[in-house]
Amino acid sequence: MGNVILALILLAALPALSCNRGNSLPGAGGKPTIALVLKTLNHPFFVDMRRGAQEAADRLGVTLQVQAAEREIDVEKQMQIVENLIQTGIQALAITPSGSREIVSALVKARDAKVPIVVVDTRLDPKAAADAGVRGETFVGSDNYEGGRLAGEFLVKATGGNAHVGVLEGIPGHETGDSRLRGFRDAVKSSPGVTIVASQPANWERDQGFNVFQNMLQAHPDIDSVFACSDLMALGALEAISAAHRTGTIKVVGFDALDDAKKAIAAGTMEASVAQFPAEMGRVAVESAVKVLHGEKLPPDINVKLELVTKDTVK
Amino acid sequence: MNRARQFGTLIGLVGLCFVLWILTPYFLTVSNLLNVAEQTSINAIVAVGMTFVILSGGIDLSVGSIVALAGVVLGLALHDDRSLGVALTLTLGAGAACGIVNGILVSLGGLPPFIVTLGTMSIVRGAALLVTEGRPISGFASSFRVLATGRAGFIPAPVIATATVYLIASLVLTRTTFGRYVYAIGGNEEATRLSGVAVRFHKTMIYGVSGVMSAIAAVILTARLNSAQPIAGMMYELDAIAATVIGGTSLMGGEGTLAGTLVGALIMGVLRNGLNLLGVSSFLQQIVIGGVIVVAVLLDTVLKRKHRG
């Protein structure tokens, strides 16, 4: 008991020792500092995004601070990172939200600290953002709905309009995955021969893609094609297909065009993947943040191109 | 002896703060220290329950899942237009119920706590996902969110909640017979039983305390994120165990204090904050945090050996 009180008193005394040295120091070396907060750095997509962002930052002469949570779904950790970065007096924040609604609470703090926000890759939930009075200067990202539609149209063509599709979804409630799914569903809706026989979340992860698709295949042996909302899940599904000795009989379409997926497409075990250009996203994000610092007005949306990678176009 | 070890941990925290003060001008500012305190609150509160359990010679791996389920209960209750009082009662009740089930399985079922709580970790997480169909429940009234966003003077509400929890919990641990029994059960369960203490009942209650603490943490987390996520609280058990152990509580039970746990939680919080401020890559951060846990426990063990001669 006495010890708890002692510890609390000592901690309460700490702020008294502080001397606000932070106020006298702007960004390092007078260069403006832009923070890029990613969902995670253990995914090639975000590693590419960091590369593109770093190149742009070097070119434009700004300091780039890149931080990410250990796990993609850890929005509370991402919030802590944002809070901590605000303390270092960053001039602008580019962020790929781990949760479209949850991150709004952190962005409120950025707004209060007068740090402009560029939202990248995953949109904010419009209602949550409006309720909290948070506004991104712009949104830089792929049109995920359009990407889902591309994948759907391709699958309809590749199967001649006759398919039993298993769908691997991302984490439920993630705007990115939900949009891809909507695009895909809308694209196959008009083909009566194409039915979605199962649709389950595999939470963006490769091992879950494996397990979930293995289970799907048990429940629906008639599945002859797969749409996975990300390549990691698609690659998991490919392994499940190979474990079931059905390689070549099931058409797999993924999203992201990761290197491993491109190899699979070249080898013919996978049909197609929708390519996003994360490095491009990183570049545009930093450029947009710099424009904001120069007082330029930005359009509400900046779409980064999407491309369908198939056996014919894979490099 | 205990006191000397605790000062060791506290000196570690102060030393860490000193190093960060040298390395970055942004660390030792009022706003950043309040920021750290606020960020630490959730882990610190979960770690209170963990300390009770570990002191009694057990372990509770289900705390993170209980945070998620209690949060979901809270979210559903609030969206159901229940009053704040009712919603909070349901939340704490859900946490207590989960903890008591753990306790009953451990004490009456005679199963190892590691196995029991490993099982309930999965069961409770599954329940949270099932109830919500995997989707977060979000958007709450500001009258509720004030529990995380509010300030009394300049002190954030979660910090006040944490201080209150620690004061009450350490009163319970040091000034009540229940508290004595927590240490006694962890020190020598058989001897405690033979001296007429209702060990099974008290063990059940200890896990109940852990469940309630997870539920309190869930309230703060939900208010902070303005969202109750069924996937929330993953790995919280490891952070809470780390805070407890860094704070000098013995995993064998019977030895440790809540003050130590608070300092342990703050060491982890300060470290994460400092590494962010310094712009250390997130991969390196994991290595540093792991290293600090190992070094802290190593120092503790060495000191202990010395004291015992």
For residue A109, give the chain B residue with the closest CA: B149
Q: Please check the confidence at residue A140 and state whether its pLDDT lies above 70.
A: yes
Contact B272 A25 (CB under 8 A): no
Q: Which residues of B touch A10 (CB under 8 A)?
A: 10, 14
Q: Residues A306, A274: contact at Cβ < 8 Å? A: yes
Reported confidence tier of residue A27, pLDDT bands at 50, 70, 90 = very low
Q: Please check the confidence at residue A25 and state whether its pLDDT lies above 50.
A: no
Q: What are the tens digits of pLDDT across the range B230-261?
A: 999 999 999 999 999 999 898 899 999 999 99
In DSSP notation, chain B reads -HHHHHHHHHHHHHHHHHHHHHH-TTTSSHHHHHHHHHHHHHHHHHHHHHHHHHHTT---TTHHHHHHHHHHHHHHHHHTT--HHHHHHHHHHHHHHHHHHHHHHHHTT---HHHHHHHHHHHHHHHHHHHHTT--EE---HHHHHHHH-EETTEEHHHHHHHHHHHHHHHHHHHSHHHHHHHHHHH-HHHHHHTT--HHHHHHHHHHHHHHHHHHHHHHHHHHHTEE-TTTTTTHHHHHHHHHHHTT--TTSS---HHHHHHHHHHHHHHHHHHHHTT--HHHHHHHHHHHHHHHHHHHHHHHHHHH-
CA distance B193 to B177: 14
Torsion of CA A83, B33, B7, B52, to 10 degrees: -50
User: Interior CA angle at B279 toward B276 and B284, to 5°?
Assistant: 85
Domains, chain A, ranges and CATH? 29-142+278-305 (3.40.50.2300), 144-275 (3.40.50.2300)
Q: Residues A273, A313: contact at Cβ < 8 Å? A: no
Q: Residues A284, A304: contact at Cβ < 8 Å? A: yes
Q: Which residues of B touch A127 (CB under 8 A)?
A: 139
Q: What are the tens digits of pLDDT across the range A60-94?
A: 999 999 999 888 888 999 999 999 999 999 999 99
CB pairs under 8 A between A and B: 146
Q: Please check the confidence at residue B293 and state whether its pLDDT lies above 70.
A: yes
How close A268 comes to chain B (CA, Å)?
34
- A254-263, B270-279, B283-292: least confident range: B283-292
Contact A15 B30 (CB under 8 A): yes
Q: Alpha carbon of A254 to those of A207, A240, B200: distances in Å?
A: 15, 15, 54
Q: Please check the confidence at residue A271 and state whether its pLDDT lies above 70.
A: yes
Q: Which pLDDT belongs to residue B303?
A: 73
Q: Residues A7, B259: contact at Cβ < 8 Å? A: yes
Q: Which residues of A touch B285 (CB under 8 A)?
A: 70
A155, two tokens: 């699958």
Reported confidence tier of residue B1, pLDDT bands at 50, 70, 90 = very low
In this complex, is the C-beta atom of B43 within 8 Å of any C-beta atom belonging to chain A? no
User: Interior CA angle at B169 toward B165 and B170, to 5°?
Assistant: 120
CA distance A37 to B276: 11
Q: Is the ipTM of this complex over 0.90?
A: no
Q: Which residues of A touch B258 (CB under 8 A)?
A: 3-4
CA distance B34 to B230: 28
Q: Which residues of A touch B228 (CB under 8 A)?
A: none
What angle separates helix B258-277 from helix A2-17, to the nearest 10 degrees?
20
Q: Please check the confidence at residue A20 and state whether its pLDDT lies above 50.
A: no
Prediction pTM value? 0.82
Q: Please check the confidence at residue A21 and state whether its pLDDT lies above 90.
A: no
For residue B229, give the chain A residue with the closest CA: A102
Query: Residue B148's closest CA among A315, A106, A223, A18?
Result: A106
Q: What are the tens digits of pLDDT across the range B65-102?
A: 999 999 999 999 999 999 999 999 999 999 999 999 99
Q: Which pLDDT belongs to residue B12?
A: 86
Q: Residues B183, B74: contact at Cβ < 8 Å? A: no
| Cross-chain CB nearest to B276 (options A14, A81, A171) | A81
| Cross-chain CB nearest to B171 (options A1, A18, A172) | A1
CA distance B108 to B101: 10
Q: Which pLDDT belongs to residue A12?
A: 56
What pairs with residue A201 in β-bridges? A169
Contact B10 A7 (CB under 8 A): yes
In this complex, is the C-beta atom of B276 within 8 Å of any C-beta atom belonging to chain A? yes
Q: Which residues of B touch A74 (CB under 8 A)?
A: 234
Please give the distance of CA B135 from its chain centroid, rounded to a whole number: 25
Q: Please check the confidence at residue B52 and state whether its pLDDT lies above 50.
A: yes
Q: Which residues of B touch A202 (CB under 8 A)?
A: none
How close A176 comes to chain B (CA, Å)?
14
Q: Please check the confidence at residue B23 and state whether its pLDDT lies above 50.
A: yes
Contact A99 B225 (CB under 8 A): yes
